[in-house]
């Protein structure tokens, strides 16, 4: 839901045509997220379908402009005046992965953490040097790009910190004797004849 809103926010500045929107988005986000041009036209179609934009007059060059509607303007304004609410909450693949991993008997969680930490540390370093080159922003574009890089940097740093933190958590848990490997739950099915199930009496594969 962010490309949609971004295009809407840009269109709120004035009518644009598709190709232009791509460069506007690129320019305003430091070209951080490559955006396939085709996606612009898809999104425009969907925005038009939802009544948030409409086709406007062409210019002398024949470009096909889209203009924001009142509803679209309201939505853009709403987006910018309300907080990004992490509903759900954020389905972070890494968190899911590690939660699943600690519940699996045959997974070396410490190794998973190490592998990830190495990778994430690499990301941190890349982002750090990237940021250093973007040191002093001279334009609003540069500023925007810097913010994006630092956003990723902060997130990557938090990831590393978390990974290091959960290493101690795992140690604590192991010390407390919470290391029982966890097979599939053996809760008795309620339908039909109850059947105690473990990994060892599971139906043949």
Partner DNA sequence: ACAGCCATGTAACTTGTTACATGATTTT
Partner DNA sequence: AAAATCATGTAACAAGTTACATGGCTGT
71 binds, among DNA, its own copies, none (CB under 5 to 8 A by kind): none
Q: Which is nearer to its own copies, 49 or 193 (CB)?
A: 193
Footprint of its own copies on residues 64-83 (CB under 8 A)? 65, 67, 79-83
Task: Measure Cα distances from 3 to 40, 86, 87, 124, 138 in Å.
Answer: 9, 17, 18, 25, 26
Among 26, 27, 31, 39, binds DNA (CB under 7 A): 39
Among 49, 60, 132, 175, binds its own copies (CB under 8 A): 60
Told to check if 61 binds its own copies by CB under 8 A, we report yes
Helix ranges, 109-189 (H): 109-133, 140-175
39 binds, among its own copies, DNA, none (CB under 5 to 8 A by kind): DNA
Check: CB of residue 104 under 8 Å from CB of residue 182.
Answer: yes
90 binds, among DNA, its own copies, none (CB under 5 to 8 A by kind): its own copies
Look up tokens 């848990």; give the residue: 173
Footprint of DNA on residues 99-158 (CB under 7 A)? none
Angle between helix 70-81 and 2-11 (nearest 10): 120
Q: Of the listed pieces 113-121, 131-139, 151-159, 191-199, which binds DNA according to CB under 7 A?
A: 191-199
CA distance 85 to 62: 40
Cis peptide before 89 (omega within 30 of 0): yes
Cis peptide before 30 (omega within 30 of 0): no
Told to check if 19 binds DNA by CB under 7 A, we report yes
Among 91, 132, 133, 175, binds its own copies (CB under 8 A): 91
Q: What are phi and psi of 152, to 5 degrees?
A: -70, -35
In the complex, the residues that contact DNA under the rule CB under 7 A are 1-4, 17-20, 33-39, 41-43, 45-46, 61, 63-64, 88, 91, 189-192, 194
């Amino acid at each position: 839901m962010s490309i949609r809103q971004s295009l809407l926010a840009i269109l709120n500045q004035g009518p644009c045509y598709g190709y232009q929107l791509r460069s506007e988005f690129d320019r305003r986000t430091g070209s951080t997220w490559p955006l396939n041009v085709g996606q612009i036209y898809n999104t425009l179609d969907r925005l038009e379908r939802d009544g948030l934009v409409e086709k406007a007059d062409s210019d002398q060059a024949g470009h096909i402009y889209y203009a924001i509607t009142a509803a679209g303007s309201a939505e853009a304004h709403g987006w910018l005046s309300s907080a990004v609410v992490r509903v759900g909450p954020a389905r972070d693949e890494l968190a899911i992965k590690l939660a699943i991993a600690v519940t699996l008997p045959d997974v070396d969680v410490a190794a998973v953490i190490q592998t990830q930490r190495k990778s994430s540390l690499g990301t941190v370093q890349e982002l750090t040097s990237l940021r250093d080159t973007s040191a002093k922003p001279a334009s609003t574009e540069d500023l925007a790009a810097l913010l994006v890089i630092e956003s990723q940097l902060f997130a990557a740093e938090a990831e590393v910190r978390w990974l290091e933190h959960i290493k101690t958590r795992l140690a604590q848990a192991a010390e407390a004797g919470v290391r029982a490997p966890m097979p599939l739950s053996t809760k008795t099915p309620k339908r039909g004849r109850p059947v105690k199930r473990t990994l060892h009496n599971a139906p043949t594969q």
